[in-house]
Every structure is written in structure tokens, then in C-alpha cells.
Amino acid sequence: MTDEELTEIIREISRNVFSRPFRHQAYFNKRLRTTGGRYMLRTHAIEINPASYEKYGFAELEGIIKHELCHYHLHIEGKGYRHADADFRELLDKTRAPRYCRLPAARNRRKRSTLYMYQCLDCRTAYERKIRMNTEKYRCGKCHGRLQIIIK
């Protein structure tokens, strides 16, 4: 689905559900990770996370669009458009828009384990580090002796 098709779908949902026009643009933004969509206050654009649509289908996309259109129409009218505002919660209930969306599974981030082991040449104190350190610049904390890398 293209950005133009997305904009047209949002215009149609805005006309049918809110009985008001959507006069701005909508975009897919694949950099969104923690949310299904967002409404941009300055440009009045709506950005949608394409991963939500790909994983959960049109029904989830429609819910995200309704939620963002609640922000949009209330902001345009000068009413409370934030999640905590009563106007926003009332419009969510009236339009049956979800308060939260399901998110695609987060990317698996590799947990960084201990990669570097250093030892003082004088007192033999061992130091574990996750990040490589410059042994010419840093010294032992106990005796100020030189450090040597043991495990890379």
C-alpha cells in the first residue's frame, strides 16, 4: 500500500466515521517502533507504522487511523486532543477507536556480555569491561600499575 492509498483510506474513514474531511497527508513511517501511529501537531500529518498493518491487517490499521483522527479533529477544533483530556476519551468511545494498539514484536537486541578482561601487571587485579579501553591511557585503580588485556 502506498502513502497515497493510505491518505485516501484515512479520508474515507474521516468522512464515514467523523463526518468531517481530512485535508492533510498521511505517510507510512517504518522508523516508528513503539507506537502504531502518530499525529503531527505542526503539519497535521498522520504517520502510521507499516509493521502493524503487515502483521495484524486492515482491522488494526483502521483502529490506529480512528485513534489518530481523534487527535486530528480535536486539535483542529481547538478542543482537548491529548490522551488525558475528557474530549479525547469521549470521542474515542463515540467512534469506537482503540485507546492502545497492538505492537509488532520488538526487535531482538543482543545483550552485551563481558567482552574484555584486563589485568594489572603489578598487583594482578582483574577488571571486566563491556567496552574496550585504552591500556596506554588507563591504569590500575589500586596500585596505578599498567593494564594488560587478557581476553578479547
Q: Is 54 a catalytic residue?
A: no
Q: Name the phi and psi angles at 148, rounded to 5.
A: -130, 140
C-alpha cell at 40: 503531527
What's the Cα-to-Cα distance from 50 to each of 1, 33, 55, 110, 137, rounded to whole Å? 9, 10, 9, 24, 47
DSSP classification of residue 107 = P
The residue whose grid cell reads 498493518 is 53
Write the DSSP string, 37-57. EEE-TTT--EEE-HHHHHHH-
Check 5, 12, 68, 136 and give the catalytic one: 68
CB atoms < 10 A from the CB of 56, how many?
17
C-alpha cell at 105: 514484536
What residues are annotated to the active site?
68
